[in-house]
Amino acid sequence: MVSFWVYDVGFMILFSVFVAWFLSSRKKSLSREGIIFMYRTKFGMNAIKYVGDNFKGVLHKLKYVVVAVGVALMSIMIWMLGKTLLIYIMNPEITETIKAPPIAPLIPYFPKLFGMENLFPPFYFTYFILALAIVAIVHEFSHGVFMRLFKIKIKSTGLVFLGPILGAFVEEEKKGFEKKKTLEQMTVLGAGVFANLIFALIFYGLYVLFFFSSFAASGYVFNTYAAQEVPIDLIDTIGRDIGPTTVFFNEGSLKMNITMNLTGAKVGGGDYFMSTKIKELLLKGVEINNYTTVLFVKSPAILAQMRGAIVQADDVKIMNQDDLIKFLQSKEPGDEVKFVTENDDGIHEYIFNLGAHPLDSSVAYLGVGNSQVKPEEFVQKILIGFMSFKDPSTLYKPTWDGEFVYFIYHLLWWIMVINLLVALFNMMPLGMLDGGRFFYLTILSITRSEKIAKQAFKFATYAILFVFLLLMFFWFIRII
């Protein structure tokens, strides 16, 4: 079966050829700004007029919400920039996990190009074009509706081309726009990102509904072996290496994403395994008093180097954690069991004897678990809350045509995420973005001083550009 990548690359080539033909055949209708081509039309004007004229009451009430959302998005984006810079300064190892530069264009296939397939679903050119079209139309249409509401003249609408990448625009009469009240200008500027945020929520709802209608629990995902934190200076002896062992399972796909070399160790007479990195420190005589490390308990799962999602135990189908617990409760220590797991490498079978639980020798013991990091930041809590509709310890598989289900599922995810990213990015206080003048007007409305507003806007622009440079600097010096 031909991979979808082949079809997608073919579509990208055909689409690029079509764009080239379109631009060459309409030279008289095009204007150029640097490397960007703008195709001006009156397309969409009737729809903008209809909504702007027939929903005035609702739109006037919404203007306060639009401005408040704009301020919130701008604040979040500034906070995220500062937080990202702090992470790159304080955690140099991040470049080992995330190879991509911290500032990079959202281009098709970037997870594959930058080795980030464990972090993101596939990003086909098809996804890129469909998501971009929805994001751009929604964004610019919303600008146009509020321009119509506030009687700001719309000169034209149209398409923007940057090679095969396309967008949309609504062009206002600039002088007329700048003469409007501050609140009205801020509403128009914030309308685009407000619409993108609403559509991100709409597609989030579709994403969740599609998940529940097209996926079913199909296995138990473990992301760690049984482990405990132990002071390093309590380690009595070091045993032999057991070779590379994959320990952590990447939630959301079938890929195991962290592999480490383990070596045997004894603590207080108990058998454990530890990372060979700790072994190297001990052998070098590095001073490690008062330090602790995670040691893996000697268990049947780690001895068998078990990996993947557990989908079957003997002849019992394992759908989730509860199924595995019930199965283990029906067994005795020492019972021989055949486990079947699944990951990207395929199906794996393991036959071994169950152990005795460290805390109760009468209970059968496998030695796997699913450990979840508790979020500390407010934004992290929100993001994890949005994904709480599915259990991270459960493997979900499509209930019908697998490839097509994943195609739709990932498409909905990307449309949702790109709408959210555009909403955040566009509210950065930079001159070429909606957030630039929005920030200026915000400071102006607070201080009532054009001089202070202009100085604040200038400072914000240079500060953000400086943060960008610092991010790229720290990334670059750590990859060379």
Cβ atoms of 110 and 123 closer than 8 Å: yes
Residue 368 forms beta bridges with which residues? 225
DSSP state string for 112-174: HHTT-TTTS----HHHHHHHHHHHHHHHHHHHHHHHHHTT--EEEEEEEEETTEEEEEEEE-H
pLDDT class for 257, splitting at 50, 70, 90?
very low
Nearest to 74 by CA among 156, 182, 197: 197
Mean pLDDT over each residue of the chain, to the nearest integer: 83
* pLDDT beyond 60 at 289: no
| Region for 187 from its dihedrals, namely left if φ exceeds 0, alpha if ψ lies in -120 to 50, beta otherwise | alpha
Cβ atoms of 147 and 188 closer than 8 Å: yes
pLDDT at 348: 92
Nearest to 220 by CA among 311, 344, 301, 300: 311
- Grouping H, G, I as helix, E, B as strand and the rest as coil, residue 390 is coil
Structure tokens at 194: 């407000």
- Beta strands 227-231 and 237-249, pairing class: unpaired
pLDDT at 253: 37
What is the number of other CB atoms lying within 10 angstroms of the CB of residue 450? Answer: 11
Residue 324 to residue 321: CA distance in whole angstroms: 5
pLDDT at 338: 95
Q: Show me where the domains of the chain are located.
A: 4-215+399-479, 220-369
Whole-model pTM: value is: 0.83
SS3 sequence of 69-100: HHHHHHHHHHHHHHHHHHHHHHCCCHHHHCCC
> Which CATH code of 2.40.420.20, 2.102.10.10, 2.30.42.10, 1.10.150.20 fits the domain covering 220-369?
2.30.42.10
For 311-324, the pLDDT digits (tens) are: 999 999 999 999 99
Structure tokens at 400: 């019908």
Q: How many residues in the chain?
A: 480
| Region for 310 from its dihedrals, namely left if φ exceeds 0, alpha if ψ lies in -120 to 50, beta otherwise | beta
pLDDT at 288: 55
What is the number of other CB atoms lying within 10 angstroms of the CB of residue 212? Answer: 11
For 422-460, the pLDDT digits (tens) are: 999 999 998 888 999 999 999 999 999 999 999 999 999
For 122-177, the pLDDT digits (tens) are: 899 999 999 998 999 999 999 999 999 999 998 888 878 776 677 777 888 888 88
Strand order in the sheet with 227-231: 227-231, 292-297, 270-275, 256-267, 237-249
Contacts of 472-476 with CB under 8 Å at 24 or more apart are 472/101, 472/102, 472/103, 474/88, 474/89, 474/92, 475/88, 475/95, 475/101, 475/102, 476/101
* Helices and strands (DSSP H and E) totals, the chain: 15, 19
For 191-248, the pLDDT digits (tens) are: 999 999 999 999 999 999 999 999 999 999 988 888 777 766 666 666 555 554 554 4
What is the number of other CB atoms lying within 10 angstroms of the CB of residue 50? Answer: 12
- Beta strands 215-221 and 165-172, pairing class: unpaired
- Beta strands 227-231 and 165-172, pairing class: unpaired
Where are any strands of DSSP class E within 34-190? 36-41, 154-162, 165-172
